[in-house]
């Protein structure tokens, strides 16, 4: 039995439902951010992050910084690319577009390659773009939370290495880390940025990332200073290295309570094989996609290979509006999100299926949500097999 106050089940694509033990870790007594106990917890949390990213190279550098997922874009834009340099941004929705905006804010020159709505840019066009211009980095949104489209990171790194081996490959894993497989080193990625509140299952407030030795070298070799003070790798790298070596260190005060929560969440994740966790998210996602199809509905990500296992973006039937269906879902104890992709925002809703709602066998969140969706649509006048 959960000790949390009764509440509707939060099944938006992040923040997600949290485990009791993770939430309880946040009610830790106040401690100094340089006290030995906290330093040990922070150091252990960084080491566990390496495991989550399947990284064993000591030259790779994990970062945990107070902030949200967006701060990861700033880290990349302020440190790994210099004003006037080119970035190729692969966009599959709202978040890819925003990554491009962030790069431009720091003076980089983003070129966007977009897929059709519900699809993604294809390798031949990516290779063509890379062969036409020198790009310092390529960014890709692993799962774009506005469309539920997943990108093929492993294939992308292979394509980039073939055409432009010096180009860094950076993935936005905010909606994929801890539910979609990411073999950071084996695949040859140079950076993955994410946040605490999605599949990792820790309350919002932490920007979490890892960068390869090659990316850290690119940072060290930059000619101009980092474009940000708070998001400067120059300021944060020694702090992370000291914490991991269990030495006290200070640049800006971390949140000890959030670090405790992340520590608990990562221990829970790593207590089971990661492959099992990814498989479980896949099975539940397949079940959701089948239920949506049985209801006669379409998902935004058109091709099965482009459909993420973290969430499902579902087109509403003709005549059913978001302001009608979301309150009906809420009255059944389920919270979904509305649309976000600006061209189709009023036409679809988003169902997040990540973390404990998927992995905790004592929870029935996903079945409850599918039942609630069916009934709510019927109440809106929709007949599944009409």
Ligand X SMILES: Cc1ncc(COP(=O)(O)O)c(C=O)c1O
Q: Known binding site for substrate: residues?
A: 350
User: Quick check: 252 and 274 in contact, CB under 8 A?
Assistant: no
Closest CB to ligand X among 206 and 320?
Answer: 206
Query: For residues 49 and 240, what is the distance between their CA atoms, to the nearest angstrom?
Result: 12
Closest CB to ligand X among 39 and 170?
Answer: 170
174 binds ligand X, rule: CB under 6 A: yes
Closest CB to ligand X among 14 and 355?
Answer: 14
**DSSP-based three-state secondary structure for 287:** helix
Closest CB to ligand X among 44 and 152?
Answer: 152
Tokens read off for 118: 């519900």
Piece in contact with ligand X (CB under 6 A), picked from 139-147, 261-269, 330-338, 344-352: 139-147
Piece in contact with ligand X (CB under 6 A), picked from 66-74, 224-232, 275-283, 327-335: 66-74
70 binds ligand X, rule: CB under 6 A: yes
68 binds ligand X, rule: CB under 6 A: yes
| Sole binder of ligand X in the list 97, 172, 180, 306 (CB under 6 A) | 172
E strand spans, 267-385: 311-315, 334-335, 337-338, 348-352
201 binds ligand X, rule: CB under 6 A: no
- Nearest C-alpha neighbor of 260 from the set 193, 199, 206, 210: 206
| Sole binder of ligand X in the list 141, 151, 212, 308 (CB under 6 A) | 141
User: Quick check: 336 and 14 in contact, CB under 8 A?
Assistant: no
* Neighbour-count burial for 108-122, b at 16+ CB within 10 Å, e otherwise: bbbeebbbebbbbbe
Residues 6+ apart with CB under 8 A from 220: none
145 binds ligand X, rule: CB under 6 A: yes
**Contact letters (x/-) for ligand X, 15-44, by CB under 6 A?**
------------------------------
Query: For residues 132 and 50, what is the distance between their CA atoms, to the nearest angstrom?
Result: 35
Residue ranges binding ligand X (CB under 6 A): 14, 68-70, 95, 141, 144-145, 172, 174-175, 195
């Amino acid at each position: 039995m959960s000790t949390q106050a009764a509440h509707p089940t939060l099944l938006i694509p992040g923040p997600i439902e949290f485990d009791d033990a993770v939430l309880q870790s946040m009610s830790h007594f106040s401690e100094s951010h340089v006290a030995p106990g906290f330093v040990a917890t922070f150091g252990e949390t960084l080491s566990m992050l390496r495991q989550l990213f399947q990284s064993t190279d000591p030259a790779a550098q994990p970062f945990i910084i107070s902030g949200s997922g967006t701060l990861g874009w700033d880290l990349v834009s302020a440190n790994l690319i210099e004003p006037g340099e080119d970035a190729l941004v692969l966009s599959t929705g709202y978040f890819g577009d925003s990554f491009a905006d962030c790069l431009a804010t720091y003076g980089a020159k983003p070129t966007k390659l977009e897929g059709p709505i519900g699809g993604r840019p294809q390798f031949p066009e990516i290779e063509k773009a890379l062969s036409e211009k020198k790009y310092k980095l390529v960014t890709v949104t692993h799962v774009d939370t506005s469309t539920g489209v997943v990108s093929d990171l492993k294939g992308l790194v292979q394509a980039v290495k073939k055409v432009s081996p010096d180009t860094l490959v950076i993935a936005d894993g905010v909606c994929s880390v801890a539910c979609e497989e990411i073999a950071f080193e084996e695949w040859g990625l140079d950076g993955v940025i994410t946040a605490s509140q999605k599949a990792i299952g820790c309350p919002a407030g932490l920007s979490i990332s890892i960068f390869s030795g090659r990316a850290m070298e690119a940072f060290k070799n930059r000619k101009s200073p980092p474009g940000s003070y708070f998001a400067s790798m120059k300021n944060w790298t020694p702090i992370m290295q000291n914490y991991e070596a269990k030495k006290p260190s200070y640049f800006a005060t971390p949140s000890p309570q959030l670090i405790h929560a992340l520590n608990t969440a990562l221990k829970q994740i790593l207590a089971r094989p990661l492959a099992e966790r990814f498989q479980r998210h896949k099975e539940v996602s397949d079940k959701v996609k089948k239920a949506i199809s049985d209801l006669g509905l379409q998902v935004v990500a058109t091709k099965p290979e482009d459909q993420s296992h973290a969430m499902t973006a579902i087109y509403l039937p003709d005549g059913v509006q978001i302001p009608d269906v979301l309150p009906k879902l809420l009255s059944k104890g389920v919270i979904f999100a509305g649309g976000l992709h600006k061209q189709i925002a009023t036409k679809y809703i988003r169902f997040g299926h990540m973390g404990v709602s998927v992995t905790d066998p004592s929870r029935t969140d996903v079945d409850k949500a599918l039942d609630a969706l069916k009934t709510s649509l019927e109440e809106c006048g929709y007949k599944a097999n009409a």
